[in-house]
Amino acid sequence: MDFEGRKRFILNRLEESGTVLIQEITDNCAISDVTARRDLATIESQGLLSRIHGGAVKSRTADSMFSYDKKALHNKDQKMMIAKAAAPFIEERDSIYIDCGTTVYHLSKYLSQFGNLRVITNSLPVVSELIFHTGIRVYLLGGELDNKRRAMYGPMSENMIRYYRARKAFIGAGGVSLTDGLSAGNEKEASITRMMAQAADMVYLLCDSSKIEKNAFVHFAPLEMIDYLVTDQMDPELMAAYEKQNIKVIITENNN
């Protein structure tokens, strides 16, 4: 097993139990004690663990990292299909908002073909994905970094949104329902997402079916704020009810 494979094993063990022992690493990765200790030292230098006698424990940096990654991995296949289905709505010379949701993040993976595109975002993973694409101009909103969300929030972020007008906004939500509209997990997420939607001509909500007809903690926008709902599956009767609200529903199952 190469180093990257061993690193994945170590980080997975830390996520599962909070600790990993040298003996576990040598047994599962078929390496010597010396190599295992060297691997832990390398990963510690990356801020992802803290070494202890006989092994390692998860670092505070890793806690923040795992929080985001865990959410990103939940329903990952559906999220990627949703992002792929939304990508064709983007055109050359568009200016678009991409918020920090883990579903919307995958949209950035389908933008490499563009030669003239502006992307406005508060998401560090989106910036990281697009940083080497010279045809895409990225505008990162300033503000306070939320380590767990890997995104920028606060008054500075909101003030910057007021400067930019976009043709399209691609947003996520903690929940969406016919009766209560869009909701988020907390106030700062709700505020940024609402402002991005208000600053765009067309709004695309990307969310997997686990969030349909669900309500999160903070209700932040009426259903009519969105123009498109892109999801992985939906009951036909429910889909008809959404489309009666002038929302175009895109189902990934139909995008073969």
Residue 248, SS3? strand
How do the pLDDT tens digits run along the chain, 256 residues long?
Answer: 889 889 889 988 887 788 899 999 999 999 999 999 999 999 888 777 889 999 998 876 555 555 555 555 556 789 999 999 999 999 999 999 999 988 999 999 999 999 999 999 999 999 999 999 999 999 999 999 988 888 999 999 999 999 999 999 999 999 999 999 999 988 999 999 999 999 999 999 999 998 999 998 899 999 999 999 999 999 999 999 999 999 999 999 654 4
* Cα 188 to Cα 184: distance, rounded to the nearest angstrom: 9
Position 9, amino acid: F
**Helix 60-73 with 3-17: angle, nearest 10 deg:** 90
Torsion of CA 206, 212, 215, 216, to 10 degrees: -40
pLDDT at residue 59 in the model: 72
Q: Which two tokens stand for residue 113?
A: 């073909």
| Residues 98/107, Cβ–Cβ less than 8 Å | yes
Full DSSP string of 150-177: TEEESHHHHHHHTT--EEEEEE--SEEE
Full DSSP string of 54-86: TEEEE-HHHHHHHHHHHHHHTTHHHHHHHHHHH
Domain boundaries, the chain: 3-58, 75-254
With b for 16 or more beta-carbon neighbours within 10 A and e for fewer, the 113-122 pattern comes to ebeebbbbbb
pLDDT at residue 256 in the model: 41
Label the pairing between strands 200-206 and 218-221. unpaired
28 Cβ neighbours under 8 A, 6+ residues apart: 9
Tell me the pTM: 0.73
**Helix 76-86 with 60-73: angle, nearest 10 deg:** 70
Report which of 41, 40, 53 is spatially closest to residue 11, judged by C-alpha positions. Answer: 40
Q: Which two tokens stand for residue 137?
A: 């101009």
Q: What CATH number belongs to 75-254?
A: 3.40.50.1360
* Fold adopted by 3-58: Arc Repressor Mutant, subunit A (1.10.10)
